[in-house]
Structure 1
């Protein structure tokens, strides 16, 4: 008979082995993160339906969710010989608007990053351009859209230009601040090791400024999104903003709500993709 003492493991109060506790917690956390947004959406729909059914406001002002769903089906398909809204389906309206945002925001982001790097590294460039960027950042898009229409006409040029101008300041400001905040000790160390000015910018300044620059990109895309309806006020059809404006002219509230949802849902997806890109490119920043 063995005399070796038997070591008893402490019993887990929850009856779950310690090695399985962490995966279970991870699954519960993921379920909770998914359930909370879905629960809030369901609660919103219930409150919306109750408000519409109460009769406090007319169906023109507050249509029920079922009316918005019917409008969604109508603008997404061909019905009674009518294709979508104004001859264009919802997907096509959205695709045209997203193309405008991609082009305009892309130009604004690229220009903002380049000028931000210059302003952060060259003092006189910052002194020259910073007041103008601040002035531009405080202007609402409608303040200069009419001028863009006078200069560029009513086709795609003023729309893309408006979105580019709206997206430019957030990236320029965030990149400038990030470059200016790079520790001088890192720059001096790189120069002491024989790095040229370009080497310092490429290997020290850009990686250090990248987190704040990516945050500025997310802000810029959000500003461009919020400027979409303004960009499509003139000759905006086909396009989501033009569809919303045209439907509002006829008090077609269900179509207006469909357009708002169609603008916001891809915005959430794009922001999530940008956030994932940020976490992938700069993993040392951590997660919010």
Structure 2
């Protein structure tokens, strides 16, 4: 369909065909394309890892202690309604235009997704499991590590999957902050010079890399939660 649309006169000037995008890819390989991909991956990785490290304990606290839920949940729910791109002007004022600002925007998108998933996982632990563990003499420490964490582990992996997608999808917005390299920056600069083939190339690369990341997390989820009963 893409190829057919690219040869229709009405679309020829605004939609380059696959050969033009392949040519742009080859030229990019000879230029800074791998650098742009590497920089984007680095930003997403740092933002996502920081989000995961902070979101998991916060999510467990919210799900396990009512006081933590009262403190954190209203703020998290409030900021979840704000698109990360809306934070960019304030982030620039506070953090400047360096790497920390870009990583913070990615972190915010991933954190808000992961923490809710972990929180829901803890809240949805079967109360029967908790009661059975108490009958067998488990204390609060045993309940948390031997019941709550294993039972909520599938939710954690779902949060990882969605959080990684959120981090990757926020990449372009983050790289609008005075970036010299990165796929988002590449798309933005190509838009300024009306280089549509490079814009499409950047979109395709973001989609393909994001898809591969998602497949990797899905594979890990299947390997680590094989014990979980699934509806056939």
Which has the higher mean CA deviation after the structures are superposed, 223-232 or 176-185?
176-185
Rounded Cα–Cα distance in structure 1 between residues aligned with 2:119 and 2:20: 48
- Counterpart of 2:102 (choices 138, 159, 175) is 159
Asked whether the 8 Å contact 1:279–1:287 carries over to 2, the reply is no
- Contact 1:190–1:200 (CA<8 Å) still a contact in 2? yes
1:118-151 residue CA offsets vs partner (Å, 9 max, x unmatched):
0000011111111111111111111111111111
Deviation sequence 1:194-227 (CA, Å, 0-9, x none): 3232221111001101111211111111111110
The whole-number CA distance in structure 2 between the counterparts of 1:208 and 1:106 is: 22
Does residue 227 (structure 1) correspond to residue 180 (structure 2)? The answer is no
For 1:151-210, what per-residue CA distance to the aligned partner results, in whole angstroms no more than 9, with x for missing partners? 111110011111111101111111111101112221122223232322211110011011
The reply on whether 1:243 has 2:186 as its aligned counterpart is yes
Per the normalisation by structure 1, the TM-score is 0.77
1:145 — aligned with what?
88
CA distance in 2, matches of 1:129, 1:285: 32
The answer to which structure, 1 or 2, has the higher relative contact order (CA under 8 A, 6+ apart) is: 2
**Pair member with larger Rg:** 1
User: Match for residue 7 of structure 2?
Assistant: 53
**Number of residue-to-residue matches in the alignment:** 231
Equivalent-residue separation in structure 1 for 2:229 and 2:206 (angstroms): 30
Report the equivalent of 1:75: 28
Could you list the per-position Cα deviations for residues 74-131 of structure 1 after superposition, in whole angstroms to 9, with x for gaps in the alignment?
1111xxxxxx1xxxx2111101101100110111122111111000000111111111
Match of 1:130 in 2: 73
What runs of 5+ residues in structure 2 fail to find an aligned partner?
none
Indicate the SS of the match to 1:222: helix
- Matched residues in 2 for 1:102 and 1:142: separation? 19
Query: Aligned partners of 1:235 and 1:273: how far apart in 2?
Result: 31
Please, what TM-score do these two structures have when normalized by structure 2? 0.95
Matches within 5 A, 1:1-288: 47-59=1-13, 61-77=14-30, 84=31, 89-283=32-226, 284-286=228-230
Q: Distance in 1 between matches of 2:6 and 2:231?
A: 40
Query: Where do 5+ consecutive residues of structure 1 fail to align?
Result: 1-46, 78-83
CA-atom RMSD, angstroms? Answer: 1.4
Q: Which contiguous aligned blocks of 4+ residues in structure 1 show a shift greater than 2 angstroms?
A: 191-196, 285-288
Distance, in Å, in 1 between the alignment partners of 2:189 and 2:202 is 11
User: Aligned equivalents of 2:91 and 2:3: distance in 1?
Assistant: 42
Q: Aligned partners of 2:156 and 2:210: how far apart in 1?
A: 19
CA contact (8 A) 2:48 2:110 kept: yes
